[in-house]
Amino acid sequence: MLILIGLGIVVPLSIAFKDSIKKYATALYILCVLLSLGIIYLTMTEAVVHFSRWTRDWIWSLFANGVIATALFIVVMFIGAFSKGSFVKKRLMPIRAELSIMASILTLGHNISFGLVYFVFFFKKPEALPTYQLIATISTMILMVIMIPLFITSFYSIRNKMSAVKWKKMQRWAYLFYALTYVHVLLLFIPLALKERPGYFFSIVVYTLIFGIYAGMRITLAYKEKGVLQKALVWIVVVALGSFVVAYSVPNLIVKVEKPKEEVFTLDKSKNTQSEKNDENQDVQNEEKDVSEDEKQPEDENTDSKVENDENKDNNEVEEPKSDVDKKDKAPEQKPEKKDNTEQQKPEKKPETKQKPKQNKQPEKKDNKPQQNQGNKPKEDKKPQEQSKPEPKKEEPKKKYKDGTFTGRAKGYNGDVVLSVVIENDEIIVIKIEDHMEDEPYWTDCKAMIPRMLGAQSSKVSSIGGATVSSDAMKKAVEQALSQARN
């Protein structure tokens, strides 16, 4: 479907603005370079995830997926398939080189942006790519090797330095380039069509018609031109038909073999039991520490009270003789005339002064004892209160989730992501992938989140870099299933 939109944009603009394209070719080259750099930058920064679904599907895909570039190449190859006196050849032949250069620049941007993922996986982790993507990556590298010399020799400054014969021989590689482009498209589209992805079967039919019509027109033209390139064109047709058969049959077998029957992830309870045991051991150790600290506190407080009592005793013993001395000093000052009486009263007061400290000491001991008991009693009362706090926890709490299987759905990069969650005894034990339309290797990376969600018993885990849209869709689908299960 997108290729028809691309052709609907490129063909009318090429015919209508032929003179402007020729005149402002350099400005158009710069524009294509900026578009390619923008595609690479947005891919690297993952800014595309902030685009709306419509923008991503119908505008971004036209440039990032190489649709406009492919449409330009289709126009270029059909210009050569028309006869000399045709309207298309007269109108578009003067700008064929310019269209080819713009198509090459946009193709480079497309391949670099996708190569940031697929080329890296191809060289570092090829086992992560499905077989059909490995073959498609190899075909891309071959296409680049063919396209770059054709791209360079399309500039008039380079072309004028070459002989006409040598230039024509080099341009014949364009036929192989067109054939491999068709094979590359089939390698990517057929597996998706077999997975019943909407629109891909129709796109395969459209591409087959376009390249089939071109092959028929080019062979017919070659026979008219006194058999020029007949052998080469017959060879190209054979390769194209053989490539179609291989591209259709191989991915079909690959998809049937590699497609898993079901993708189910279960909770590893052994890890959870070990973590629970560790938590229980920590709780026991913390309780023992609390008990030992509580036992130490009364002893410390008793020692403090004893020190205070001893200090009170010492203070009483020191202060009492001072009072006797004061009385002796004060007596003669107040009653200087009655010295004899004071002297007679001294022996009577001595036993009283001896008894006074005893009387003072005894009540102080009595007062200190209740202080000790009062200091201990509230702590004896606090202990049972602290132990009685967990008693209400013994009551069975209400379950957070219902038992059963619950399904969640969220929008991914290419379509809906559907997951089911199995809950048993308030625990997520299974997460199953029911359906998705996401691309590889992004989806394989996203599946690494499921064991983490099972371990965390939550959908709130970190997303996968480079596959933000798909990983967010997976988390939202799990969260939707959990929201249905909540009591």
Query: Does the pLDDT value for residue 180 go beyond 70?
Result: yes
* Contact assessment for residue 441 and residue 121, using Cβ atoms and an 8 Å cutoff: yes
Query: Does the pLDDT value for residue 258 go beyond 50?
Result: no
What was the pLDDT predicted at 229? Answer: 54
Paired residues of 418 in beta bridges: 409, 435
* Contact assessment for residue 45 and residue 121, using Cβ atoms and an 8 Å cutoff: no
Query: Does the pLDDT value for residue 456 go beyond 60?
Result: yes
CATH topology of domain 404-485: Sufe protein. Chain: A (3.90.1010)
Domain ranges of the chain: 2-262, 404-485
Using a pLDDT cut of 70, give the percent of the chain over it.
65
User: In terms of pLDDT, which residue wins out, 145 or 191?
Assistant: 145
Query: Does the pLDDT value for residue 177 go beyond 80?
Result: yes
Query: Does the pLDDT value for residue 290 go beyond 70?
Result: no
How many CA atoms are closer than 13 Å to the CA of 152, on its beta-carbon side? 8
Residue 106's CB is within 10 A of a number of other CB atoms, namely 25
Tokens in use for 316? Answer: 């009483």
Q: Which of 56, 69, 77, 80 is nearest to 6 (CA)?
A: 69
What was the pLDDT predicted at 234? Answer: 58
Tokens in use for 281? Answer: 């051991």
Residue 357's CB is within 10 A of a number of other CB atoms, namely 16
Greatest pairwise CA separation for the chain in angstroms: 166
Q: Which of 154-163, 282-291, 304-313, 318-327 has the highest mean pLDDT?
A: 154-163
Find all residues with CB under 8 Å of 139, minimum gap 6, and list them: 180, 183, 184, 187
What was the pLDDT predicted at 391? Answer: 58
Span 104-115, pLDDT tens digits: 999 999 999 999
What was the pLDDT predicted at 292? Answer: 53
287-322: buried (b, 16+ CB within 10 Å) or exposed (e) per residue? eeeeeeeeeeeeeeeeeebeeebeebbeeeeeeeee
Query: Does the pLDDT value for residue 369 go beyond 70?
Result: no
Span 191-231, pLDDT tens digits: 888 877 888 889 998 998 899 889 888 877 777 665 555 55
Model pTM above 0.75: no
Residue 439's CB is within 10 A of a number of other CB atoms, namely 18
User: In terms of pLDDT, which residue wins out, 210 or 256?
Assistant: 210
Task: Return d(Cα 185, Cα 247) in angstroms, integer.
Answer: 9
* Contact assessment for residue 215 and residue 240, using Cβ atoms and an 8 Å cutoff: yes
Query: Does the pLDDT value for residue 297 go beyond 60?
Result: no
